[in-house]
Chain A
């Protein structure tokens, strides 16, 4: 609420206030508008060309350009005393500002007609073509629209793998982080001491192995290991095994187990970053180590870790691409299949890059919004891979 009013206040201030470079920026915008007017209109263009509206828009741009040119001359001749010239009187300043908004509206109109409608027309044209056109962008649109189903399925799988993988890894990561921080206490009995050291050793071994090997290798090992288990212990045929032990199951297990190691370290860092005084206060009130952990330390640790967990999700969107090596039908595998159908690589891989970028960018926007809602430190941009 507060933020919203501040935002609208800022917008109002922007519209009302004097802007120093209104002629410079507006002039550039006017030139771009003229270029767009002279560009060839597409099939569904609502403005058309060589008609009254286009003439009017050209006129608006030219008038502004003339005013900008006049301002430039005045500035050059009155370099030091420009502030005192008639152009800096309240009337002309306000007129120039309002005119610049008209110009912005003209630009928006032209951008919709000459760029957006044109893009839509091009895509539609490409979709209707019978053969793959040689031009780069046309081919990109052609292949994408012809294999829309495959690519949409790939996007869906990628998002599912990243979401489910991160969620499963979060749960397992909590467990692993707890294992990792166990320290045998003088007051424990021998069995508890043994359990604690075993858990701790297991967790650090797991984390070292998983973080020290590439996910692509992990995916291959998990997939074939699972396959071997089925061939050794059941009498199922290969086709039946493939149905049960599908590549997406193996992929999901891989990405979950991989993320578990990273999230365990994130959560451990989160727990260790909580001031030791919090635990001491809880213990001094008679709470057990577990109660102190669950009621005091852990909630704070998770809250501190949320930005890093979000980053892990974005990394998983990108890194799930290596699961295509076992034939997991994610966006990468879908793209590879499409390129195999058309024998055209560059265009469709660029399309894949664009789709990945859209996914990660949307996720990072969403996470930034969430962290602001939860009153947490912001993460900026898209995190790099592991």
Chain B
């Protein structure tokens, strides 16, 4: 398998608080990696470091043959190839659904407007929102917003998609519509790194599950390994709490 992303010894502190304490992670093309762990364990920070929304203190992030941590790397060019979906959707409030999806392709990749719109409509159709292309993005429901956000990222035709707790701001009834879109993406072979609290999704969809605790990757493996026979007491404790919560 071809390696697409390689993180080496990544460290990051916010003031005195060290959030990432030497992370090593490799992601292959077409792989779906779910990062689980308690709040504050550094999952989101790790994800945000990958496309430099947070600048890590030391370490290397190899992507597309370049080290993102190298100050001479053109990060804007690399970011085009890394899609990101946020917990709070972050749709552009001053644009409608279609313009949300076409703005970056037109501004960054200089794609003609008509062609960008065609691509956008195709992706909006795959997320089931072709009827909303002219809707005001502020008037959509949470689930619809997140699906537009996914379509917006897809319009840049990224090689890898990062999902930062994409369903945490949604109520349980509409979590499903977003997860369905993500499952479909995974089936189509998209490389995905997903920070999530949806254990069922992680178990069902991911090729590899990474458990993070206090700034380090404690253990990783196939869903069967991590969920079935976790090596560490801390992992068992975390998972058992989740399984208890899910009991009726």
- Contact residues of A with B, CB < 8 Å? 186-187, 275, 277-278, 280-288, 291, 295-296, 299-300, 303
A295 touches B103 (CB 8 A): yes
CB of A285 to closest CB in B, whole Å: 4
CB-CB under 8 A for A287 and B86, given A186-B71, A282-B92, A300-B93: no
Beyond A187-B71, A291-B107, is A286–B93 a contact (Cβ under 8 Å)? no
Contact B104 A287 (CB under 8 A): yes
For residue B79, CB closer than 8 A to chain A, the reply is yes
Interface size on B, residues (CB 8 A): 29
Residues of B close to A303: CB separation below 8 A? 94
Pick 21 A–B contacts, CB within 8 A, sort by A. A275-B90, A278-B90, A280-B90, A281-B90, A281-B91, A282-B104, A283-B79, A284-B51, A284-B53, A284-B86, A285-B104, A285-B152, A285-B156, A286-B80, A286-B104, A287-B76, A291-B108, A296-B94, A299-B94, A300-B93, A303-B94
A326 to chain B, nearest CB (A): 42
Which residue of the partner chain B has the closest CB to A294?
Answer: B107
B177, CB-defined interface residue at 8 Å: no
Is B75 on the interface with A (CB-CB < 8 A)?
yes
Question: Is A286 in contact with B94, judged by CB distance below 8 angstroms?
Answer: no
4 A-B pairs closest in CB distance: A286-B80, A285-B104, A281-B90, A277-B90
Q: Report which B residues bind A (CB closer than 8 A).
A: 51, 53, 55, 71, 75-77, 79-84, 86, 88, 90-94, 103-104, 107-109, 149, 152-153, 156
Interchain CB contact under 8 A, A286 and B90: no
Interface core residue of A186, A280, A284, A295 (most chain B CB under 10 Å): A284
Q: Tell me whether A186 and B86 are in contact in the complex, defined as CB-CB below 8 angstroms, given that A278-B93, A285-B108, A287-B107 are known contacts.
A: no
Q: Roughly how many angstroms separate A280 CA and B89 CA in the complex, as a whole number? A: 11
User: Among B79, B92, B149, which residue has the most Cβ atoms of chain A within 10 A?
Assistant: B92
Closest to A301 in B: B94
- Distance, CA A280 to CA B79, complexed state (A): 11
- B131, chain A: closest CB distance, angstroms: 23
Known pairs A186-B71, A284-B82, A303-B94 / 15 extra A-B pairs, C-beta < 8 Å? A187-B71, A278-B92, A280-B90, A284-B51, A285-B79, A285-B84, A286-B76, A286-B79, A286-B109, A287-B76, A288-B76, A291-B108, A295-B107, A296-B92, A299-B94
Q: Which residues of A contact B83 (CB under 8 A)?
A: 284
Shortest Cβ gap from A298 to chain B (Å): 9
A301, chain B: closest CB distance, angstroms? 10
Assembled-state Cα–Cα distance A296/B137 (Å)? 13
Question: B234 → chain A, closest Cβ, in Å?
Answer: 31
